[in-house]
Structure 1
Amino acid sequence: MLPPKAGNDRLRLAYLVSNHPITSQAFVVREIEALRGEGFDIEVLSIGRPDRSPEEMSALEREELKRTFYVRDAGAPGAAAAHLKLIFRRPGRYARALLEAIRIGGAHLGELARHLAYFVQAGIIACRLEERGLRHFHAQFVSPAGLLAAKLGPATMSIRVHGSDEFYDATRYRVAEKVKACEFVCAVSGFTASQLMRLTPPEEWPKFEVAPIGVNLKEFAPAPFRPDPRPFEILLVARLIPAKGHRQLLEAARKLAEQGRELRVRLVGDGPDRAALEAMARQGALEGCVVFEGAVNQDRIREIYRQADLFVLPSFAEGVPAVLMEAMAMGIACVSTKTGAIFELIRDGQDGLLVRPGDSVELAESIRRVMDDSALRRQLAEAGRLRVEECFDLEKNTKLLAGIFRRRLVKSM
């Protein structure tokens, strides 16, 4: 049977996220909104609060803020009340889940404390789901609190796996264990599904579904093409962490600036690497060429995309980056790296250019090619937009995801 229907006949489902809404996961807000349009009544449970104030959010994000249940807001009294209810309703299941949290935490006191904290959160989640009559929840990313909430029950769980962090440390992320606890798993790409297959026994493979995320093609509409921009605007949207390759982009930009090319690098996002990157941007030919925008909301990001002549994402590891989809949808030529599932989005030389991760020389050469060849830049921009229309349209991919939910929940519940 399907999850219980709300009074207006909409199918009910919970989404579990770490922080909501959060700048680096704007695609989650879009996916939830699109699923509601497909007839789902989505209730969002977020472990923590958003990463910024309501004034810094888009109108849609502010609306999500009002509708979201925040687990940590329950505090000690709320947690105690939730756990007492679970102990009374299902003492045996509660004891098994608690022992599981202790087992996962192991002998290391820090890990044990961390997993007991997850267990506290899981109790609040499980109680909230039961009280709201929600019989299934879908966790974005591989959530430890979600795993324990599924063990507390009675709600069942599915997860969305993006990659790539969990593939490099599958033991710490307990990938196989979480897959086993799920009714089904939505992978954002074929590559992601293949990595899950690598990390799990064959009997779990029938759980895997490939369900790409997508972009709202009306909101992210192509910007006017600038045939001879001065300065040439290079954009990167990503958290300021080493794995995103900001240093390689700045090295490549320095090489090009030293050749006398007029360019500007615009970095959108924030993170622990900001001070080091700002220091790097003040050196030599880069001075005055790099703009740090910080974190911006979805309304502002589209304005920034419209100013860009080239989007560069030189990551060391990725799933299928939403920011690349957004840039391609906006009709911006893209350069990225041959890592993760990016090849499922960009076919090298056709929808964009791909270089070896960590190679600032090859990156500089690819940027130079696009800067010097306006026809190539236009060709990549137009092909990129078509690629997103064909394979990463939010409307189409939400229908696919909605179909998976309906089919899998009918089968499993």
Structure 2
Amino acid sequence: MTPATLSPVAFVLKGYPRLSETFIAQEILALEKAGLPITIVSLRRPTDKKRHPIVDEIRAPLLYLPEYLHEAPGKVLKSWWKVRRLPGYSRAFAAWIRDFKRDPTSNRGRRWGQALVLAAELPDDIARIHAHFMHTPGSVARYAAMIRGLPFSFSAHAKDIWTIPEWEKRDKLADAQWAVTCTGSGADHLHGLSPADGRVSLVYHGLDFSRFPHFDSVRPSRDGSGEAVQILSVGRLVAKKGYDDLLDALARLPTDLNWRFSHIGGGDGEGLRAQADRLGIADRIEWRGAQSQADVLEALRSADLFVLASRVTDDGDRDGLPNVLMEAQSQALACVSTNISAIPELIRDGETGLLVPPQDAAALSIAIEALIRDPQRRLAIGAAGEARVRGAFGHEAGVQDLLARFSAP
């Protein structure tokens, strides 16, 4: 496959760049290096104060759409005037009206306005519009693709699969030329909603191991009886990450164990800090906030144990295949997590990590204690986890799969 066979593609993202979406930046950079011409379209401007170094390596031009239509009414009106006579406009408008009747919200109206701007400002050589996440980016990409008469495809991940209504998923799957998702559970769900033509495929995003090279040093054999065992978690401070469950689990640990917990990730942690105070464990916790990928790698190498207490929230939101678990395992760091979504596709319970039921602080505490007290088991599980993630979850296979899709007629 040569660059000459790859036509330019617009990638529609909800926000860019984002510290929590390194897997998207990793994919864009790999596709770009393979010769795929990409234009990045973002529905909102960045809010993170830091950014990962990988973003500076990406050369794709960047188009920001107006996040709120009232901030750029002239641009929206000018865009409508420009695209209103295109052959695909009537079909797109009819699709939006159907959607708006079922979802009469300002958000739905904003997606139509953003789609008008995208259709008007999209470079003429773009041959496809591809969305990362099938919810709001998928809506903008779908409407704009209809207006411009371009093929539409998307990558689905987690929240977007489980929090939008079935009618919306069915319509987007019917209009998409193809779709990929990064979890077996997500693929099974979408298969049941899509036309029976195999347009949904499982494509793990995996890791770029050049950014997470093998860790050669030997971790100390801390067992909680002397020097504190270092427990780490990385993730946004949102409900689906289960940090309130994790704090409850830590508070249940026997008083004779010496441990410290560090958290890396953005979000509002005021409630969790208050919870830690109530539980009497605040003095053992360090809240580091959002960090760069280099800082995360250093933290993984300094830790003894990685914990992620993912769960399903009341609105159905959940993790897919958390990159942070693959990153931790790439550094031979033993992991404890929950048996939801695609986590069991990565971690084999008792072999490459420990899995417990979600929202079960007692079971989570028992698993954490078991690995705190047994450093040799931690090392064995960490080594097995690294072997599995490096053997089955590299990003190269997924990139080649996507290149084949983007190059197809």
* TM-score with structure 2 setting the length: 0.89
Native 8 Å contact 1:245 1:315 kept in 2: yes
Structure 1 counterpart of 2:98, one-letter code:
R
**Aligned equivalent of 1:136:** 128
Q: How far 1:65 sits from its partner (Å)?
A: 8.9
1:212-223 equivalences under 5 Å are 212-223=204-215
Deviation of 1:368 after TM superposition, in Å, equals 1.1
C-alpha displacement at 1:211, in angstroms? 0.9
Matching residue of 1:125 = 118
Give the equivalent residue in structure 2 for 1:385: 386
Pairwise CA distance, 1:108: 6.8
Q: 1:57 is matched with which residue?
A: 51
- For residue 399 of structure 1, report the CA deviation from its aligned partner: 1.9
Matched pairs, number:
392
Change (3 A) 1:205 1:334: farther
Shift of 1:123: 1.3
Equivalents in 1 of 2:198, 2:213: separation in Å?
Answer: 37
Question: What amino acid is the match of 1:132?
Answer: D
SS of equivalent residue, structure 1 residue 260? coil
Identity %: 28
Is the contact made by 1:102 and 1:116 (CA closer than 8 Å) also made in structure 2?
no
Output the amino acid matched with 1:67.
P
> 1:36, 1:107 → 2: CA distance?
38
What is the match of residue 240 of structure 1?
A: 237
Q: 1:205 to 1:366 in 2, by over 3 A?
A: farther
Distance 2:298 2:41 in 1: 30
TM-superposed CA distance for 1:193, in Å, is 0.9
Equivalent in 178, 183, 186 of residue 184 of structure 1: 178
What amino acid does structure 2 have at the position aligned with 1:252? A
Contact 1:319 1:340 in 2 (8 A): yes
Q: Can you give the 5+ residue segments of structure 1 that lack an aligned partner in the other structure? A: none
Question: Do 1:21 and 1:64's aligned partners in 2 also have CA atoms closer than 8 Å?
Answer: no
Whole-angstrom distance in 2 between the partners of 1:66 and 1:400: 20
Question: How many angstroms apart in 1 are the aligned matches of 2:99 and 2:367?
Answer: 46
The correspondence for 1:291, drawn from 286, 291, 303, is 286
Root-mean-square deviation (Å)? 2.3
Q: Paired residue for 2:320?
A: 319
- Could you tell me how far 1:260 is from its partner in structure 2? 2.2
- Secondary structure, in 3 states, of the residue corresponding to 1:348? coil
Q: Is the 8 A contact 1:221 1:331 kept in 2?
A: no
User: Which of 256, 260, 263 pairs up with 2:256?
Assistant: 260
Equivalent of 1:170 in 165, 172, 176? 165
User: 2:252 is paired with a residue of what secondary structure?
Assistant: helix
**Contact persistence 2:53–2:293 (CA under 8 A):** no
| Unmatched segments (≥5 aa) in structure 2 | 312-317
Distance 2:13 2:103 in 1: 27
**Which residue of structure 2 lines up, in the alignment, with residue 37 of structure 1?**
33
Secondary structure in structure 2 of the residue aligned to 1:100: helix
CA distance in 2 between counterparts of 1:10 and 1:168 reads: 33
Q: Distance in 2 between matches of 1:368 and 1:108?
A: 47
Amino acid across the alignment from 2:288: E
What residue number does 2:14 align with? 18
Distance change in 2, residues 1:44/1:271 (3 Å): same
* DSSP-derived class of the 1:379 partner: helix
Q: Distance in 2 between matches of 1:66 and 1:397?
A: 20
Give the TM-score, by structure 1 length.
Answer: 0.88
Paired position in structure 1 for 2:144: 149
Tell me by how many angstroms 1:66 deviates.
Answer: 8.0
